[in-house]
A and B are shown apart, each in its own frame.
Chain A
Amino acid sequence: MKKLIFLLFTLAMSVNFYAQEKHFVPLKIIAIGAHPDDCDSKFGGTAALYAKLGHKVKFVALTNGDAGHQNMGGGILGKRRRAEAKKAGEILGVEYDVLDNHDAELIPTLSVRHQVIRKIREWDADIVLGLRPNDYHPDHRNAGIAVQDAAYLVIVPNVTPDTPPLKKNPIFLYMQDGFQKPYPFSKDIAVVIDEVMDQKQRAFAAHESQVFEWMPWTMGMDENEIPKGENERLEWMKNVYLKQKKLDKSSLAALKKWYPNTDATKVKNVEFFEICEYGKQPTDEEIKYYFPMLK
């Protein structure tokens, strides 16, 4: 009899466990860039794929972008860029927070570190994405440092005690860049974003002050070259910023690892991520769990 009860009990437990397994638990992903538009350009496609699968994504810009224009600035520009970010977030199906640190003045101070720790904790993040601390813009480098410095500390209750700590150190990933020193970006994870490329483009275009005004100005373009109609602008933008690049050897190797059954010649757009050593170190199996779009 005892045995029977034990058996029944075990059975009941396993059914219960199975039911729990079936219950959908959304993943929580937070991407932290320096300016409103950084996350979109480096992670916009993967973010849209997560959102389509019902997972929760948040973008954070650590600065308000109030220096990113040739004839606008300060609070007025900060306000415009916050509104652009909200629109981009809606297009991708993600939340978008713009913090009020000044553009081009970001320093990895304790107060910025605490802002980052709070954001990661409040989002209860499984995955945190940041920039590498080597990149062309000091804000990018310092944003990278501020995010790195939050790794591990997010689980320490005595640190930033106004916000409850996470139970576990999340996975920390770097978003892609082209810098070679002290070592080139490592394509540890590849995500094919072709099916959401249109969304990524429209989200990027939502940052009008950047895509159609400031960035062309920094590149010495003639304002009059930029078309006015919405569709024409989108086409123009694709050609200038999001031109499809031929996949190089390391990209193809990463693609083959994560999409063994996909014909690489048909793949057009891919986003890559590098695993940071300071967060949880995921196994390949865990990466497949945390990146359910990989197939």
Chain B
Amino acid sequence: MFTFCTLFSLSSLNSQNTSNKKLNVIVFGAHPDDCDNKMGGTAALFAQMGHRVKFVSVTNGDSGHYEKGGGHLAKIRRNEAQEAGKRLGIEYTVLDNHDGELLPTIEVRHQVIREIRKWEADIVLTHRPVDYHPDHRYTGVLVQDAAYLVIVPNVTPDTPPLKKNPVFLYLQDHFQKPNEFKADITVDITSVFDKKMDALDAHPSQFYEWLPWTSGKLLDVPENEIQKREFLIREWSRPISDKARESLTKWYGSRKAEKALHSESFEICEYGKQPTDEEIRELFPMLNN
């Protein structure tokens, strides 16, 4: 009986270990909408294949508007995030740290460690610590700082540690210093591009109000739904870069890579598990399609 229990607990205990199981993917963005924008497509693909994805916004977004703010805005944005999560088929958590004031404190690091552990994550994704917004940079630092510590039992002991350090990946950006983003893994999201746009559309306070305001385009935002979608695609989809195309070719072969219209790229962070190409194919099963 004891052996049976042990065996049973070993096999069910940690989804991190077994193959042919559901993958647990967790993505940390600074604000409610960052994860959607950087990996909404890949998340939708994971979800379609039956894997579990969670987006975490480290701040509540309570500064991201020109005429709303504080708890009132945070509530609007939390609801928008929930709707986006529903549209992608994933979970969405918004932590209650203030927008525009995120610092890589121990307290927030512990929040991040708990989220990763509770999700029993196989893959953790976040911003690089170089990006235009200090909240993005510090989210990158916080998640980097959680790498390795997630397996240390004496750290954040209220939440049981993971058995293994997950794979940590960076979401794409265009910053060049001290080094440019490297497209180690690139996912063809052509088939779910509409779904990704549905997710962005779930954040009207951002994509139709605040972000156009910051770029002086508030008056260009159309009223009707069809034109709104065109606006969203125009503003928030980018052509596949040469480097992303190269990476697509590596993972999908040149015939499929040439046909791709939209993609999302990821860089392997040196502080997590360093996966082989074979392991990457296990962790990103959509690459085998």
Taking beta carbons and an 8 Å cutoff, which residues of A are in contact with B?
109-110, 113, 148-149, 151-153, 155-159, 161, 182-183, 277-278
Distance between Cα atoms of A119 and B99 in the complex (Å): 21
- Could you say which of B62, B66, B175, B176 contacts A157, with CB atoms under 8 Å apart? B66
- CB interface residues, B 19-52, toward A, < 8 Å: none
- Chain A residues lying within 8 Å of B64, measured Cβ to Cβ, are 156, 158
Complex CA gap A54/B78 in Å reads: 49
Task: Please state if B132 and A110 are interface contacts (CB–CB under 8 Å).
Answer: no
Q: Can you list 20 residue pairs at the A/B interface with Cβ under 8 Å?
A: A110-B103, A149-B134, A151-B132, A152-B133, A152-B134, A153-B100, A155-B214, A157-B69, A158-B65, A158-B69, A158-B73, A159-B100, A159-B101, A182-B178, A182-B179, A183-B177, A183-B178, A277-B132, A277-B177, A278-B132
A110 to B99, CA, bound (A): 12
A148-B134, A152-B132 are known contacts. Are A158 and B178 too (CB-CB below 8 A)? no
In the bound complex, how far is the Cα of B101 from the Cα of A158, in angstroms? 11
Cβ distance A225 to chain B, nearest Cβ, rounded Å: 41
CA distance A56 to B63 in the complex (A): 31
C-alpha gap A158/B67 in the complex (Å): 8
Interface size on B, residues (CB 8 A): 22
Verify A277–B66 contact, CB threshold 8 A.
Answer: no
What is the minimal beta-carbon distance from A111 to any residue of chain B, in angstroms?
11
What CA separation (Å) do A153 and B214 show in the bound complex?
11
Query: Considering only CB atoms, which chain A residue lies closest to B101 in the complex?
Result: A110
B66 to chain A, nearest CB (A): 6
- Check if B100 sits within 8 Å of A158, measured CB to CB: yes
With A110-B103, A151-B132, A277-B132 known to touch, is A159 a contact of B178 (CB < 8 Å)? no
Q: Given contacts A182-B178, A183-B178, A277-B176, is CB(A156)–CB(B63) below 8 Å?
A: yes
Contacts of B176 in A (CB 8 A): 277
Chain B residues in 8 Å Cβ range of A161: 69
8 Å CB contacts to A: which residues of B51-72?
A: 62-66, 69-70
Tell me which residues across on chain A come within 8 A of B178, comparing CB atoms.
182-183
Docked-complex contact A153 and B134, CB < 8 angstroms: yes
> Which residues of the partner chain A approach B69 to less than 8 Å between Cβ atoms?
157-158, 161
Q: Tell me the minimal C-beta distance from B163 to chain A in angstroms.
A: 33
| Residues B63 and A159 in contact, CB atoms below 8 Å apart | yes
Nearest-neighbor residue (CB-CB) of B62 within chain A: A158
The 4 closest A-B pairs by CB, nearest first: A158-B63, A182-B178, A149-B134, A158-B69
- CB-based contact B175/A277 at 8 Å: yes
Q: A151-B132, A158-B63 are in contact. List 20 more A-B contacts (CB 8 A).
A: A109-B103, A110-B101, A113-B134, A149-B134, A152-B133, A153-B100, A153-B133, A153-B134, A156-B64, A157-B66, A158-B62, A158-B70, A158-B73, A158-B99, A159-B63, A159-B100, A183-B177, A183-B178, A277-B130, A277-B175
* Contacts A182-B178, A183-B177, A277-B176 given; does A156 touch B100 at CB 8 Å: yes
* Residues 189-224 of B at the A interface (beta carbon under 8 Å): 214
Residues of A within 8 A of B177 (CB): 182-183, 277
**Inside 8 A of B175's CB, which chain A residues have their CB?**
277
Nearest Cβ distance between residue B131 and chain A, in whole angstroms?
A: 8
